[in-house]
């Protein structure tokens, strides 16, 4: 069965800005989903901010293997309830790819526990991405480096936790560098941040970028069953301890009691 993938798009600039609408007539989310669907192992649909519950009701997340997230102008309009729902889905095993300006999305900041800030410049300068982890599944089939002739610059220091692995580092024409591909795990879910994707440039039409996204969907896909309750903290009664022990000393809790949260 194909990997059930949802591309979430903010879908704001596509409808308000002529340049963005020209580059992505069906919206960035649709362009990304179309690219992913070229791969028979992936079945991608879309969801947007404007839909009820932003297109991400619980049933849909339950049936989603990997979620991609692109947002920029409207991070604040995403409801906290949906953000928590997505976070729990990740913890239970759903994969998550966060794209470009999504570094400041509520869901990415929620999962990183860090500022996720950076420096930036919108000047259409050249970006060159270098692979820093040879044969990483996310870099499969890529050359050692590839270029995007026009991109927005993001510069270090990038305020994120040290990743499990740094997969890409970007060079920018104006003199900055950026760790552009970073892997994380939160609960049972794999998370990948990928830098390129400014809305006024045709980045998501680029073959190498599309390959990274296809690879990343496969990398983030978790074939096992979801964790039923990813935040539970079960009490293990003395009677069921794996090794025989006798209860000793003073107690705060009664047997079978729920812990404090």
Out of 28, 31, 47, 87, the only residue in the binding site for a copy of itself (CB under 8 A) is 87
Which residue in this structure is represented by tokens 């003395």? 238
Out of 45, 51, 171, 208, the only residue in the binding site for a copy of itself (CB under 8 A) is 171
Q: What does the alpha-carbon distance between residue 213 and residue 139 come to, in Å, rounded to a whole number?
A: 10
Interface positions, 92-151, toward a copy of itself (CB under 8 A)? 93, 101, 104, 110-115, 117-125, 128, 130-135, 140-141, 144-145, 147, 150
Could you tell me which stretch among 11-19, 34-42, 48-56, 203-211 binds a copy of itself (CB under 8 A)?
Answer: 11-19
With vertex at residue 22, the alpha carbon angle to CA 17 and CA 66, rounded to the nearest 5 degrees, is 85
Q: At closest approach, how far in Å is the CB of 164 from a copy of itself?
A: 6
Interface positions, 187-216, toward a copy of itself (CB under 8 A)? 187-189, 198-201
Q: Is 53 one of the binding residues for a copy of itself (CB under 8 A)? A: no
Coil, helix or strand for 57?
Answer: coil
Interface positions, 221-260, toward a copy of itself (CB under 8 A)? 222-224, 227, 230-238, 241-243, 245-253, 259-260
Name the residue nearer to a copy of itself (CB basis): 4 or 128: 128
Could you tell me which stretch among 28-36, 45-53, 58-66, 179-187 binds a copy of itself (CB under 8 A)?
Answer: 179-187
Alpha-carbon dihedral sign for residues 216, 219, 222, 223: positive
Out of 41, 62, 79, 157, the only residue in the binding site for a copy of itself (CB under 8 A) is 157
Q: At closest approach, how far in Å is the CB of 179 from a copy of itself?
A: 7
Q: Is 261 one of the binding residues for a copy of itself (CB under 8 A)? A: yes
Q: What does the alpha-carbon distance between residue 5 and residue 221 come to, in Å, rounded to a whole number?
A: 9
User: Are 96 and 65 contacting, i.e. CB atoms less than 8 angstroms apart?
Assistant: no
Q: At closest approach, how far in Å is the CB of 62 from a copy of itself?
A: 16
- Which residues 6+ apart lie within 8 Å of 166 measured at CB? 132, 133, 179, 181, 182
Q: Output DSSP code: residue 184.
A: E
Q: Taking each helix axis from N to C terminus, what angle separates 28-37 and 207-220, rounded to the nearest 10 degrees?
A: 70
**Helix or strand run (H / E) with residue 169:** strand 165-172
User: Are 80 and 106 contacting, i.e. CB atoms less than 8 angstroms apart?
Assistant: yes
Name the residue nearer to a copy of itself (CB basis): 26 or 113: 113
Q: Is 169 one of the binding residues for a copy of itself (CB under 8 A)? A: yes
User: Are 97 and 69 contacting, i.e. CB atoms less than 8 angstroms apart?
Assistant: yes
Q: At closest approach, how far in Å is the CB of 85 from a copy of itself?
A: 14
């Amino acid at each position: 069965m194909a990997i059930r993938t949802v591309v979430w798009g903010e879908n704001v600039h596509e409808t308000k800005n002529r340049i963005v609408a020209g580059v992505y007539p069906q919206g960035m989310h649709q362009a990304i989903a179309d690219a992913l669907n070229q791969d028979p192992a992936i079945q991608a649909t879309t969801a947007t901010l404007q839909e009820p519950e932003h297109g991400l009701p619980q049933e849909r997340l339950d049936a989603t293997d990997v979620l991609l997230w692109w947002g920029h102008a409207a991070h604040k309009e995403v409801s906290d309830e949906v953000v928590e729902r997505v976070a729990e889905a990740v913890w239970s095993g759903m994969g998550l790819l966060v794209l470009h300006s999504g570094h400041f999305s509520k869901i990415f900041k929620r999962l990183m526990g860090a500022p996720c800030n950076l420096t930036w410049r919108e000047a259409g300068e050249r970006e060159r991405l270098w692979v820093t982890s040879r044969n990483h599944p996310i870099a499969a089939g890529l050359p050692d480096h590839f270029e995007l002739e026009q991109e927005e610059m993001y510069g270090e220091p990038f305020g994120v936790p040290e990743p499990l692995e740094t997969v890409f580092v970007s060079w920018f024409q104006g003199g900055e560098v950026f760790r552009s591909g970073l892997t994380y795990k939160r609960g049972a879910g794999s998370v990948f941040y990928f830098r390129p994707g400014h809305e006024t440039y045709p980045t998501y039409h680029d073959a190498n970028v599309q390959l990274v996204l296809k690879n990343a969907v496969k990398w983030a896909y978790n074939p096992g069953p979801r964790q039923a309750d990813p935040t539970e903290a079960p009490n293990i009664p003395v009677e069921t301890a794996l090794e025989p022990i006798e209860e000793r000393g003073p107690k705060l809790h009664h047997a079978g009691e729920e812990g404090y949260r």
